[in-house]
Structure 1
Amino acid sequence: MSNILILGAGRVGASVAEQLVHEQYRVTVVDENAASLKLLQDKLDLRTVQGNAGSPEVLSAAGAADADLLLAVTPTDELNMVACKVAQTLFNVPTRLARIRNPDLLARPELFADHAFAIDHVITPAQIVTEYLCRLVETPEALQVLDFAGGLAQLVVVRVEEDADMAGKPLRALRELLPKADCRVVGIYRRNRTIRPDGDTQVEAGDEVFVLTAQRDRRAVLALFHEAGRKLRRILIAGGGNVGFRLARALQGQYQVKLIENNPARAAWLAEHLADTLVLLGDGTDEGLLETEQIERTDLYLALTSDDEDNIMSGLLAKQMGARKVIAIINRSRYVGLLQGSRIDVALSPAQVTIGSLLAHVRRGDIEAVHNLRRGTAEAMEIVAHGSRGTSRVVGRKVAELRLPDGIHFAALVRGEEVIIVHHDTEIADGDHVIVFVDNKRRIREVEHLFAVKLGFF
């Protein structure tokens, strides 16, 4: 069992710690804030150490000498960098990840090399969330859009509309309606209940359907479950922090983008750095401002401030006043399930969006991508298969031979540039990128075991 050392008990650190403890990893969390550590210790079976994350003495007390992986996610970039260097130099921790947010530092990748601060992988949550939001903007009918194999394959989550072509039909009708499309429904959630799909499963309005599809077929597949609305043109963002700024910068020029920021100095800075975005000084909860900016003509409203209550209230207000679609960042992950699908169309937790990039380094095996689904209850993984029939449990075998347990589905594989939807007679080859859907996190260990290469391979 891996020993994981987490530096920082903030939102990201606490979320990762909770997930890893539930998956039965040995976790130690270091933070200077005793109250934050007590909150974690009261609800999770983990060890905590109070102190400075960059201190050799503190890291030693936290068990750095026995750690398999160090995750530095304190609020301070420089502290995260120093902690990684100390962990490498004094304790030889094999894998070191650090959250870095300062763009000046990110622009100097040589700082992260072994001879410098010895950071194996840099995590930038604001950029991860921004890319996630960009995919939702590109596909407004979807609740989630997740990339695999560099975007060749995508997992899209969509809520079925009453008048959709697939509503009331069995899943086998997909093949009749789109005979040339590469797609597979890998999961259905109905009234918070998991349904394992097969050809006879009937789709109902209101279902959350998880579809794995080749990127080129995404639009056609989604149109069967949810009518494609008019293309987005007008976008209003509330909150000019790291995510709001990055998103406006990514979208300006393609859409009519407005950004609301309530801090005068920050608003002036944003106006200077966003040439094609209209920056407004104000508050997203100001009904008068929303009315002045014609919220009823807005195609997409995004509440991206650091305050959950403001995001919830401004999102609800925008929807009530006529915004076509509303997306809100909610830092308290427990609120996400309450709000998703209400007047707020998409509620997302930044920590849950970010956690997949961290889990890819925690999982055993050659993992290319990990995505959290259903607020952490399910997971989609992209795993590279290695070996031969003699050294691997999957390579050289047809899927039917594997006798996969309930809750584990091989949805597709990517071989070179080709996306292959998996069927019972699909044979897995060495080097295939296999996309696995796991609807119960307790099955993750079984997936890792399945792809583990036997010693003879070496």
Structure 2
Amino acid sequence: MKIIIAGAGEVGFHLAKLLSYESQEITLIDSNKECLTYAAEHLDIKTMRGDATSLQILKDARVEASKLFIAVTSSETTNITACALAKQLGAARTIARISNTEFIDQQTEVDFTKFGIDELISPESLAAGEIELLLNQYGFNDTYEFDEGALTMLGLRLSRTATFVDKTVKEAAAMYDDLHFVPIAIQRFGTQYTIIPRGDTVFKEGDKVVFITSKGGDQELFELSGRGKSEIKDVMILGGSKIGIKTARDLSEGKFRVKLLESNRACATDLADLLPKVLILCADGRNVEILEEENIADTDAFIAVTGNSETNIMSCLLAKSKGVRKTIALVENMDYYQLSQSIGIDTLINKKLLAANNIFRYIRKGEVIAMTKLANMNAELLEFVVKPSSKICNKQIKDLDFPKSAIIGGIIRNGEGIIPDVTFRIIPEDRVVVCSLPQSLAKVEGYFN
């Protein structure tokens, strides 16, 4: 597949890196010579220096032959324009990265396909959505929803009190007559190896375990993990960034009481008018005395989304030391992304990684309608639509020669999430959620072609 990426920043580079592993024909366009040089030295891709809105540059990149044109520069206007031009010149599908979250919220009113843009991606909206999901599933460190919660991915680290520590997967499943969850990936404590669990796999203390759950599965996991369940209501947000604003607005319109700390007085004044349901404080969130004055100890969740990764990390650690149960930090540096559990913060999120992973699903073979890479784990979670011609169609799971390094975690049928057993028969239009290690992806995709 020929893919053109406009923008060699962190999103574009990370996306090109993911795609280069797939042996795709990739062309990366950017006007920044240093970014292109770095990409060319580290990736097996073609680079072109120039303006992505230049008709000649697009023609030289053979945009008419491209199956996918992705514009992820830092300029929203450039991305929209580049996609519109690419579509006119013959690109089969276009994706534009935007920063104005209104475009995402009001897509029903404005048809962007008429402009030549097939898909809009907003890193800010994705990050805000991720934060809200993490707060709603407050006992877990990683979350991802399929079909508005028909199935949900939940990740947690097993404590000593977890009921199923030192038990096999089969023994843990036997604790419930009607099972609503299944483990799909395990990372042993202190290692970087990802295991696709089987019935005889033993859960160990300190394991990071990722589950797929249907309705009610989160409650079962709470009980088995030995965690007390107490609802998050009071949330403190540090930073009046675009993500901070969208997160505060979305949370305040729901069940949460929200405070937002912004150190810039003029910005704080504007936010007070913009967010009437949110308590805006002009304060430095790194100041211990200020946090204590604002009753940080009574806060259920602390979310740091300033433009500085180090500030976000340190303020979350400070909040954690004052007894805040849930801490979430936005980080720009990809190296920090691997550190969340080791440094004591519940969850680190990277908006550029969220955007790249969201875009990545468009190059998968088969009818992939959702995809995410498991945080800090070498595995992917994909949702396929079963076609009548698919090899997996009309077969029981036990009769499939499915790779050992992949697992079917759940099925969505007529909008209902199902945790299947080995006798479950897959039919056309089923949506199948699969977790796979990289070496098995090609074989897994072959079942759904």
User: TM-score range with shorter-chain normalisation?
Assistant: over 0.9
Displacement of 1:409 after TM fit? 0.9
Displacement of 1:168 after TM fit? 2.5
Q: Is the contact between residue 112 and residue 120 of structure 1 (CA under 8 Å) also seen in structure 2?
A: no
Q: Is the contact between residue 355 and residue 372 of structure 1 (CA under 8 Å) also seen in structure 2?
A: no
Q: Is the contact between residue 112 and residue 118 of structure 1 (CA under 8 Å) also seen in structure 2?
A: no
Q: Is the contact between residue 215 and residue 417 of structure 2 (CA under 8 Å) also seen in structure 1?
A: no
Identity score, percent? 29
Aligned counterpart in structure 1 of residue 444 of structure 2, from 411, 431, 447:
447
Q: State how far apart, in whole Å, the 2-side matches of 1:50 and 1:110 are.
A: 36
Give CA deviations for 1:76-135 in whole Å, capped at 9, x if unaligned: 222111111111112x100001112224545465655444x2101111111111111111
Q: Is the contact between residue 95 and residue 119 of structure 2 (CA under 8 Å) also seen in structure 1?
A: yes
Structural mapping, 1:302-313, within 5 Å: 302-313=303-314
Q: Which moved more, 1:133-142 or 1:274-283?
A: 274-283
Give CA deviations for 1:132-186 in whole Å, capped at 9, x if unaligned: 1111101111011111133111111111121122222222233332222322111
Q: State how far apart, in whole Å, the 2-side matches of 1:283 and 1:185 are.
A: 41
Q: State how far apart, in whole Å, the 2-side matches of 1:67 and 1:228 are.
A: 52
1:333 alignment partner, SS class? coil
Is 1:238 aligned with 2:238? yes
1:411 alignment partner, SS class? strand
Q: Is the contact between residue 4 and residue 68 of structure 2 (CA under 8 Å) also seen in structure 1?
A: yes
Q: Which residue of 2 aligns with 1:404?
A: 402
Which consecutive unaligned segments of at least 5 residues does structure 2 have? Answer: none
Displacement of 1:448 after TM fit? 1.9
Is 1:269 aligned with 2:270? yes
2:371 alignment partner, SS class? strand
Displacement of 1:226 after TM fit? 4.3
Q: Which residue of 2 aligns with 1:255?
A: 256
Aligned counterpart in structure 2 of residue 160 of structure 1, from 158, 161, 164:
158
Q: Which residue of 2 aligns with 1:77?
A: 76
Count of aligned residue pairs for this structure pair = 445
Q: State how far apart, in whole Å, the 2-side matches of 1:44 and 1:25 are.
A: 12
2:198 alignment partner, SS class? coil
Give CA deviations for 1:409-450 in whole Å, capped at 9, x if unaligned: 112211113333233322211111011111x22322222222
Q: Is the contact between residue 158 and residue 226 of structure 1 (CA under 8 Å) also seen in structure 2?
A: no
Q: Which residue of 1 aligns with 2:324?
A: 323
Structural mapping, 1:33-52, within 5 Å: 33-52=32-51
Question: Structure 1: which amino acid aligns with 2:441?
Answer: I
Q: Is the contact between residue 180 and residue 215 of structure 2 (CA under 8 Å) also seen in structure 1?
A: no
Is 1:30 aligned with 2:29? yes
Q: Is the contact between residue 194 and residue 378 of structure 2 (CA under 8 Å) also seen in structure 1?
A: no
Give CA deviations for 1:40-67 in whole Å, capped at 9, x if unaligned: 2221111211111111111122231321
Q: Is the contact between residue 16 and residue 26 of structure 2 (CA under 8 Å) also seen in structure 1?
A: yes
Q: State how far apart, in whole Å, the 2-side matches of 1:356 and 1:303 are.
A: 22
Q: State how far apart, in whole Å, the 2-side matches of 1:237 and 1:179 are.
A: 41
Q: Which residue of 2 aligns with 1:123?
A: 121
Q: Is the contact between residue 413 and residue 422 of structure 1 (CA under 8 Å) also seen in structure 2?
A: yes
Q: Which residue of 2 aligns with 1:17?
A: 16
Aligned counterpart in structure 2 of residue 184 of structure 1, from 174, 182, 185:
182
Q: Which residue of 2 aligns with 1:421?
A: 419
Q: Which residue of 2 aligns with 1:175?
A: 173
Displacement of 1:273 after TM fit? 1.4
Displacement of 1:71 after TM fit? 0.6
Which consecutive unaligned segments of at least 5 residues does structure 1 have? Answer: 453-458
Give CA deviations for 1:314-339 in whole Å, capped at 9, x if unaligned: 12222223322211111222211123
Displacement of 1:406 after TM fit? 2.2
Displacement of 1:408 after TM fit? 1.4
Measured at CA, do residues 376 and 77 of structure 1 come closer, stay the same or move farther in structure 2, by a change above 3 Å?
A: farther
Displacement of 1:376 after TM fit? 6.3
Aligned counterpart in structure 2 of residue 430 of structure 1, from 428, 431, 435:
428
Question: Structure 1: which amino acid aligns with 2:442?
Answer: R
2:411 alignment partner, SS class? strand
Q: State how far apart, in whole Å, the 2-side matches of 1:268 and 1:9 are.
A: 36
Give CA deviations for 1:171-224 in whole Å, capped at 9, x if unaligned: 223333222232211111112232332223221221111111103332222331
TM-score if structure 1 supplies the norm length?
Answer: 0.92
Q: State how far apart, in whole Å, the 1-side matches of 2:357 and 2:420 are.
A: 23
Q: Which residue of 2 aligns with 1:456?
A: none
Q: State how far apart, in whole Å, the 2-side matches of 1:170 and 1:225 are.
A: 14
Give CA deviations for 1:259-288 in whole Å, capped at 9, x if unaligned: 111222221121111112111112222223
Q: Is the contact between residue 101 and residue 124 of structure 2 (CA under 8 Å) also seen in structure 1?
A: no
Give CA deviations for 1:368-404 in whole Å, capped at 9, x if unaligned: 21011033621111100101xxx33111122222211
TM-score if structure 2 supplies the norm length?
Answer: 0.94
Q: State how far apart, in whole Å, the 2-side matches of 1:179 and 1:314 are.
A: 44
Measured at CA, do residues 103 and 418 of structure 1 come closer, stay the same or move farther in structure 2, by a change above 3 Å?
A: closer
Q: State how far apart, in whole Å, the 2-side matches of 1:226 and 1:121 are.
A: 42
Q: Which residue of 2 aligns with 1:202?
A: 202
Q: Which moved more, 1:293-302 or 1:130-139?
A: 293-302
1:451 alignment partner, SS class? coil
Q: Is the contact between residue 282 and residue 289 of structure 1 (CA under 8 Å) also seen in structure 2?
A: yes
Higher relative contact order (CA 8 A, sep 6+): 2
1:232 alignment partner, SS class? coil
Q: Which residue of 2 aligns with 1:138?
A: 136
Question: Structure 1: which amino acid aligns with 2:269?
Answer: A
Q: State how far apart, in whole Å, the 1-side matches of 2:443 and 2:107 are.
A: 39
Q: Is the contact between residue 186 and residue 195 of structure 2 (CA under 8 Å) also seen in structure 1?
A: yes
Q: Which moved more, 1:96-105 or 1:30-39?
A: 96-105
Q: State how far apart, in whole Å, the 2-side matches of 1:110 and 1:223 are.
A: 44
Q: State how far apart, in whole Å, the 1-side matches of 2:108 and 2:182 are.
A: 39
1:374 alignment partner, SS class? coil
Question: Structure 2: which amino acid aligns with 1:172?
Answer: K
Displacement of 1:312 after TM fit? 1.5
